[in-house]
Amino acid sequence: MDAADLYGCRVTVMGLGLHGGGIETARFLCRHGASVTVTDTRPESDLLSSIEKLAGLPIRYVLGSHEESDFSGADMVVKNPAVPRSAALLEKAKRIETDISLFLKIFPNPVIAITGSKGKSTTASAIHHVLRDHPPGSRLGGNITVSPLTFADQLPPGVTVVLELSSFQLGDLSLVEATDETALLKPDVAVITNILPDHQNYYRSMNDYIDDKKMIFRGQRAGQHTVCNFDQSEGRRFAEETPAQPVFFSSAELPAGRTGGFMLDGSGWYQDEAGRRRILGPSDHAPTTRSNLLTAGVVLSLRALPAESVDEGLRGFPGVEHRMECFAERGGVQFVNDSAATIPEAALAAVQGIVARRGVADRLLLITGGTDKELAFDLFPQIARAASETFLLAGSATEKIVPILKREGIVFHGPYDTLAGCLDAVFDRAAAGATVLLSPGCASFGMFQNEFDRGRQFKRLVSERIGSADL
């Protein structure tokens, strides 16, 4: 497929959204001469920020509902990842694409693809951080809220594209391949950081969720690499199933004969057929970040970068917004935004990481809770016990968390109907030596547009308060 094939094509973009994927898809299609209709079940008032970014483009909008003729009469329907694959109108489409499938079809650049329940954004960003400084450079896109269509037209040949891919984005490729009958995603390196329960309000079972994750390596060939988590049974099973060469990462020393990276005394090592060599030394990071940087180091080693460049590059990695982001400090109180922690396991890792780094003598004030994704919340007593005090945000998940904490005799504050009200209570309790951590362990919808909106509101409200507060 060539971008010129889009000229005159009647395209319906299903789901404009607020994360940028629908925006960049519509802009890319207009740029290449397609006749574009954007349709979304949300009303115009909810989508104004996205519509404003497309001002001046010849786009027809159908908002608040869908019209069947926009699907049956289109040459192509481009599906937003948030749209369920079971949506009946998709059956009317002659051809289904996504922004990811269009990119993969039109632009033949080498790809490093990363997925996983948690850690994929940090891992992908760290890989890009190092590769961009080594010719021919790299670009970063995908689930990290930057569609690859954003930069596709300015992408030089040979530049590596690092794609963070969600289970929704990967699973959607099966819709595209149902008509194309060829594997679109054939990454030079595929990475699965971990598998944890997530999105069970979308999937019928964990097996369905895992099957979508497997799409990341199904199209690979011999000579390419799949990087797997040796510490998880799923990771070891992926290594057996991939058609590519398996490479591992682990929190402990790998057995002899296994290729990959492992942690030893807080430093990362790479093991290959020639022995061991140190690739990075992430001892000053939290355990979850160390694991992500180790995984990135393995990928970069497969790219044959010098060990010194990998070590130096990863040490200079600044982190990712909304993921254990230490964004402010005032009066000896540190504020950490971990809004991207949308499952209980991520919140537990966050509190344990802060306690391990700062010591049990310091006070940890945890803001947690939110919306349910049909997950189990049995970890919340352990999460709350690791914190000095727990403040709950209201939501459907919190309604399940409250009785669990009460049953365990754990004291908590709230639930609070607003983040502002929650922060008022937190600031009343904060004192020098404390860490205020937003790590919800739940989805954000209802009180917020998404986890990024939740994180941004947290940072804004904290910044407003520390500008006048005497902590």
Q: Which of 98, 74, 85, 20 is nearest to 52 (CA)?
A: 20
Give the H or E element holding residue 294: helix 287-302
Q: What pLDDT, in 10s, does the model give residues 415-456?
A: 999 999 999 999 999 988 899 999 999 999 889 988 999 999
Q: Is the pLDDT of residue 149 over 50?
A: yes
The pTM (predicted TM-score) of the whole model is 0.86
Q: Based on the number of CB atoms within 10 Å of its own CB, is 41 exposed (0-12), middle (13-18) or buried (19 or more)?
A: middle
Residues 6+ apart with CB under 8 A from 15: 22, 39, 40, 79, 80, 82, 83
Residue pair 185/104 in contact (Cβ under 8 Å)? The answer is yes
Phi–psi pair at 330, nearest 5 degrees: -150, 130
The per-residue pLDDT for 286 is 62
Is residue 98's pLDDT more than 90? yes
Q: How confident is the model at residue 183 (pLDDT cuts 50, 70, 90)?
A: confident
Q: What is the pLDDT of residues 274-331, one digit of tens each?
A: 666 666 655 556 666 788 999 999 999 898 888 888 888 888 888 889 988 999 999 8
User: Given pLDDT bands bounded at 50, 70 and 90, which one contains residue 361?
Assistant: very low
Q: What is the mean pLDDT of the chain?
A: 90
If one compares 204 and 11, the residue with the highest pLDDT of the two is 11
3-class state of residue 353 by DSSP: helix
pLDDT-derived band at 225, boundaries 50, 70, 90 = very high
Q: For 334-355, what is each residue's pLDDT tens digit?
A: 999 999 999 999 999 899 888 8
Per-residue pLDDT, averaged over 67-84, amounts to 95
Task: Determine the residue type at 32.
Answer: H
More confident residue, 182 or 444: 444
Give residue 281's pLDDT. 56
Q: Residue 121 in contact with residue 320, Cβ under 8 Å?
A: yes
The pairing of beta strand 434-438 with beta strand 333-337: parallel
> Higher-confidence residue: 82 or 414?
414
User: In the prediction, which pLDDT does 280 show?
Assistant: 61
Judged by DSSP in three states, 35 sits in strand
CB distance 233 to 256 below 8 Å: no
Q: What average pLDDT does range 51-77 have in this prediction?
A: 96
Looking at residues 204-233, what average pLDDT do you find? 94
Percentage above 90 pLDDT, the chain:
70
Select the more confidently predicted residue: 76 or 145.
76
pLDDT for position 256? 83
Domains defined along the chain, listed by start: 9-97 (3.40.50.720), 100-315 (3.40.1190.10), 325-466 (3.90.190.20)
pLDDT exceeding 70 applies to what percent of the chain? 93
User: Which residues are within 8 A (CB) of 42 and not within 5 positions of it... i.e. 6 or more apart?
Assistant: 16, 63, 64
Q: Minimum mean pLDDT among 127-141, 169-183, 241-255: which range?
A: 169-183
Distances, alpha carbon 147 to alpha carbons 120, 253, 383, in Å: 16, 37, 34
Helix and strand totals (H; E) in the chain:
15, 20
Confidence check: pLDDT of 358 > 70: no
Is 19 a residue whose pLDDT tops 80? no
Q: Residue 470 pLDDT > 50, yes or no?
A: no
Closest C-alpha to 261, from 309, 237, 296:
296
Please give the distance of CA 125 from its chain centroid, rounded to a whole number: 10
Residue-wise pLDDT for 244-287, tens only, equals: 999 999 989 888 888 999 988 777 888 876 666 666 655 556 66
CB-CB contact of 38 with 17 (8 Å): no
3-state DSSP assignment of residue 92: helix
